Amino acid sequence: MKITDVLFPSLTCHCCTWLSKKRVLENLSTMISHHLSGNSDYSETLFQKFLSREKLGSTAIGNGIAIPHCRAFGVKRIYGCLVTLKNPIDFEAFDNQPVDVIFALVVPEERNDEHLATLARVAEVLQNKTSRQSLRECQSDKDLFDTAMLLERES
C-alpha cells in the first residue's frame, strides 16, 4: 500500500509540541481513535498497542524518523498518521538522533502482508534525505499532508 492510500488530512499535524515518546504515542492514539470513531474511546487501546510494540524495540529508523506501528482488532483498513515535532525528542533511536518526523501506522490484525508492505513503503520514502527535508520545511497541517502526497507520487 502507498502513503496516499492510508493518510488523511485529519491525520496530519505540523509542528506539534509533544515533549516525550509517551506523549507522542498518547496523542497519536487519540488522533487515530478520533478519526476512526469520531471520539477518543479507542485511544487507550491503541496507546497500549503502540507501547507494546515499542517494548519490542524502538520504531525509530534513524535520521530523526520514527514509524510507530501496531495491529489492532476491529480496525477495517490501514491508517497512517503523520506528524512533525517542533522540538525533536528522544525515541531511543539506534543512531542516538532525536526524532522530529513521525509516521504512525495502525493496521487490522489479519493484514500482516499489507502491514509489512506499507511499513516498507513509508520507510523507503522517509529514508530519502530530500523527502525528510521537504517534510521538515512544511508550514501547516495542509502543507504537510500535500507534501506527503507529492513525495509518494515522486518516489
Distances (CA, A) of 18 to 28, 109, 117, 148: 10, 28, 29, 21
DSSP 81: E
Q: What angle do CA 12, 100, 96 make, to 5 degrees?
A: 150
Q: Which residue has the cell 483498513?
A: 77
115 is catalytic: no
Three-state secondary structure along 5-70? HHEEEEEEEEEECCCCHHHHHHHHHHHHHHHHHCCCCCHHHHHHHHHHHHHHCCCEEECCEECCEE
Q: Hey, which residues are catalytic here? A: 69
